[in-house]
Chain A
Amino acid sequence: MFVLRLFHRDMLPPIGSAISRRLSTTLFPLPSAPLPSRREAHVWYIKPEEINDSSSLKQYTDLLSPCEKRGVLSLSGEQLQKNAILARTLVRTTLSRYCDGRVDPRSIKFKKGLYGKPEIMWQDGDNIIKRPLQFSLSHTSSLIACAVALETPLGIDVEENKRKTVNSVISVARRYFTASEVEYLAAIPYPDIQQKEFIHLWTLKEAYVKAIGRGFSGAPFKNFTIQMGSNKRAPKLHIEAGSDCEGLTDNCQFALMELNGSHVVAICMERDRAISDDENNLLSLKVWRTIPLIEDEFISETEALKYICSLS
């Protein structure tokens, strides 16, 4: 008997429960999620350590396209392959949630934008809703996250908050960051905090280049500065004068949070030009932990999520 255990979004699963982890035989419809509102980003994340049984991984693999499966097989080692399966599963199942149960996660097709940003390629067909879903994916070995918004381009980057660089933080910053960012980091007297702030800047910059669809090579980090706000205020972006940064917008907002005390998550969302009033233009977030097709846990407003910079 296959049982789909799905927790109500606002419930925490019982701690230490021996949950029977079996996937539903009907892979869809997936539980529908209400669409993100205009200034909202939804984030769904997987902790790979929570998914280890081979039957789940096999079922997830069956969701992937032939091309994705080939991509997985080309990776070196079980861990990378598992995480790649989980990443593709997360993207497909997450997007499917926002389609009123009418889109099978297996059927979603993707294309690449001008600079290689993955986008949904809606097919003509009876049951397809061509929702203008924007999404972004990021992963480290220990966390995989997918952010979704309606219409507004966004980018997400995650990193272990204790991630150490092989080279010194300042040398990496000198090579890739702007002068004011180097100055900001160099002024921090404590190595631990300096390392953390470096990771904050790194993830924010990554989130930005992903939001604008250019990626790291399409928008070199030296072309723009992220100015960290004082007193936990939201960071601001400045385009460097004289940089060859055609099409780089500075009209965007950032969110920076710490997840489970272990990961930094940065989100960048373009601002809505149509709404000039800043009050109505604030970025808000909803975050869920998920084991696709098995359990969802809404974690905004729990201890698991802490804002490093406040949203308002």
Chain B
Amino acid sequence: MASLTGSAVSVSAPVMRRIKATNGASSLNSVSFFGQKRSFSSSARLRISCAAKQETVDKVCEIVRKQLAIPEDTTVTGESKFSELGADSLDTVEIVMGLEESFDISVDENSAQEIATVKDAAEMIDKLIACK
């Protein structure tokens, strides 16, 4: 495919190292540089409360990988957006079902609507579990 003109790829190293991909490899090594841009907001780093547990993030990544049949060389991290991974609405509902089953929780449609990234899902899960 033609290489697209785009802004220079910027990958914020600290962000990538912070969250390990579930396949065990350092996500920094497996980053694809094909025009992929990860925007890193400094305000996210300062958020102390509500940060999802690493364990939850990893489990969510695993469920997402399975649902979307994501190839091994594609990185899935907490920052990954479901839409950017190619999830359509049927995938999204199945991901939510997978999360509900894995974590023994119940997700209402409004909460499901607010989940855009793996991290969002993990945070919501941790909150739901804490409230049980």
Contact = CB atoms under 8 A, between A and B. Distances in A.
A76 B84 CA distance: 6
Interface string A140-170: 1100000000000000000100010111000
A157 to B, nearest CB: 9
Nearest to A219: B109
B130 interface: no
Interface of A: 54-55, 57-58, 61, 69-70, 72-82, 140-141, 159, 163, 165-167, 171-172, 175-176, 202, 206, 216-217, 220
A163 B90 contact: yes
A82 B1 CA distance: 8
A139 to B, nearest CB: 8
Given A57-B2, A69-B6, A73-B35, A220 B109 contact: yes
Contact of A58 (B2, B80, B84): B2
A169 B117 CA distance: 25
A141 B89 CA distance: 13
A140 B34 contact: no
B128 interface: no
B93 interface: yes
A159 B85 CA distance: 18
A172 B88 contact: no
A166 B94 contact: yes
A202 B2 contact: no
A76 B86 contact: yes
A117 B92 CA distance: 18
A140 B110 CA distance: 25
Given A81-B35, A171-B97, A172-B94, A76 B4 contact: no
Contacts of A167: 94, 97-98
A268 to B, nearest CB: 15
Given A69-B6, A166-B98, A81 B89 contact: no
Nearest to B81: A74
A217 B109 contact: yes
27 contacts: A54-B2, A57-B1, A61-B2, A61-B4, A70-B37, A73-B4, A73-B36, A73-B37, A74-B84, A75-B84, A76-B32, A76-B36, A76-B84, A77-B34, A77-B86, A78-B34, A80-B86, A81-B4, A165-B90, A166-B67, A167-B98, A175-B93, A175-B97, A206-B89, A216-B89, A216-B92, A217-B112
A166 B95 CA distance: 9
Interface in B47-101: 66-67, 71, 74-75, 80-81, 84-86, 88-90, 92-94, 97-98
Nearest to A205: B89
Nearest to B34: A78
A73 B32 CA distance: 12
Contact of B37 (A74, A78, A79, A82): A74
Contact of A172 (B2, B80, B93): B93
A165 B32 contact: no
Contacts of A206: 89
A144 B91 CA distance: 17
A202 B92 CA distance: 13
A74 B6 CA distance: 10
